[in-house]
Amino acid sequence: MDDATVRIRPARQGRPEGKQEDATPRTRSLRVRILLAPILFCAVTVSALVMMEARAAPTRDAELVESDPDALAWTTYQNARFGTVVEYPATLLRMLPPPENDDGRSFEGIGQDVHMLVFAFHDVFDSDVRARLTELTGSGGFDSILQIEASEMRLFLRGMRDGRMVRLTEIHAPDDIVHTLDISHDPEIGDGLDAQLARIEQSFTVSRAEPVSTVIDTQETELVFWQSISDSTDPADFRAYLAQWPEGAFAMLARNRLDRLEPGAGRAPATDIAPSRDPGAYREPPRGSPERAAIMDAARGPVSADLGQPVIFVVDHLRSDGNFAYLQAVPHQPGGAPLDWMTTPFARDWQGDFMSDIVMVLLRRSDGRWQVIDHVVGPTDVHWVSWMEDYGLPPALFSD
């Protein structure tokens, strides 16, 4: 979820300064790979050896934990965008304000250390439950795994992550949408929560049976095509993209690339749109506004393609005059966890400390739609200075 409240690793050397929203510094954590016995791919529970000493501390705050889930006041959350549904006890969890892209919701515990995250996203890489289990039990960020249950479309995993007990449930729907329920709590709370959490997980489902698969398939095809030509030096490849998607997510980038290969060939039709010269015209689009959501959605396309995986953004800086926009952000995994740069095409530069953890994206609104003009991943200097000259943009777009 965009602008999620997550912990962000400190900027690498040379990272431009910028304000961070709801972010606290963290260092890169070491990933511990857990060796598991082969998983029988059916509904089965796997007991794994825990790579840490079990704690037998007494239940803390026992008076706050209600062991009978039926004694609590339960309510239902349903996501209008993806149809994700879950029941939760309103006396245990408090719903937090919605994110701007409406892909899910966060919940925090009332009187105890419990957090719940419910969200969904388009799986553009078409991974199944088997592939997801391989990822989670390999470099998925768990310190130890206590339980795994898997079927064709649903998986459940319980284990320790960053010192917290985590219960992760995923539904891999036939429409290539992954619905995720991520519950974490202080392990010292003990077994008093189990009945409540089990009921939450049992209620986790999807209500919408018929998503717009045609739109999803088109987006997937465009992304795959762009990834196949993004490093090409053949102008014909970018002409082919523009012929198929003249107003696509990567149209501006394709025209820029074509113009570099054949000066003048990639220029779009003349437009009267020009950036405002009035510094007062530039402001940050408010959270939850359609403009902010559209900018985020447009920026995600090329950045996800470069990183080889879907991402969300934690915003450092966002400015717009309604026609041009500049975004500086830190990419994260869709669930809010920090991005593992070693799983991206930038792994070598990241390991060598030759890049930062931010992205800069320049966008323009054309025919009512935001499109990326230029972007850079991992800059170690104030890269937008060159954009001011290249595109004739004022400093007010890039700084307060």
Residue 33 clears pLDDT 50, i.e. is over it: no
Give the pLDDT score at 243. 78
Give the pLDDT score at 172. 93
* Region of 22 on the Ramachandran plot (φ > 0 left; ψ -120 to 50 alpha; else beta): left
User: pTM here?
Assistant: 0.42
Lowest mean pLDDT: which of 14-18, 89-93, 203-207, 358-362? 14-18
pLDDT-derived band at 399, boundaries 50, 70, 90:
confident
What one-character-per-residue DSSP string does 125-173 give?
T---HHHHHHHHHHHSS-SEEEEEEE-SSEEEEEEEETTEEEEEEEEE-
Give the pLDDT score at 26. 36
Residue-wise pLDDT tens digits, 309-339: 888 999 999 999 999 999 999 999 887 888 9
Residue 221 clears pLDDT 90, i.e. is over it: no
Give the pLDDT score at 208. 59
Residue 63 clears pLDDT 50, i.e. is over it: no
Give the pLDDT score at 191. 65
Share of the chain above pLDDT 70, in %: 73
Lowest mean pLDDT: which of 29-38, 76-85, 234-243, 371-380? 29-38
Mean model confidence pLDDT for the chain: 75
Q: Hey, what long-range contacts does 378-386 have (CB within 8 A, 24 or more apart)?
A: 378/346, 378/349, 378/350, 379/16, 379/355, 380/12, 380/13, 380/14, 380/15, 380/354, 380/355, 380/356, 381/14, 381/16, 382/16, 383/16, 384/326, 384/328, 384/360
Give the pLDDT score at 46. 35
Q: Report, as an integer, the average pLDDT of 352-365.
A: 92
Residue-wise pLDDT tens digits, 143-155: 888 888 888 899 9
Lowest mean pLDDT: which of 6-20, 88-102, 230-244? 6-20
Residue 167 clears pLDDT 60, i.e. is over it: yes
Give the pLDDT score at 275. 86
Give the pLDDT score at 209. 44
Give the pLDDT score at 61. 30
- Tokens 């890039």 appear where? 398
Q: Which residue has the higher pLDDT, 382 or 268?
A: 382
Give the pLDDT score at 214. 38
Give all domains of the chain, ordered by start, each with its CATH number.
Answer: 31-206 (3.40.1000.10), 214-397 (no CATH)
pLDDT-derived band at 49, boundaries 50, 70, 90:
very low
Query: Residue 142 is encoded by which pair of tokens?
Result: 């768990």
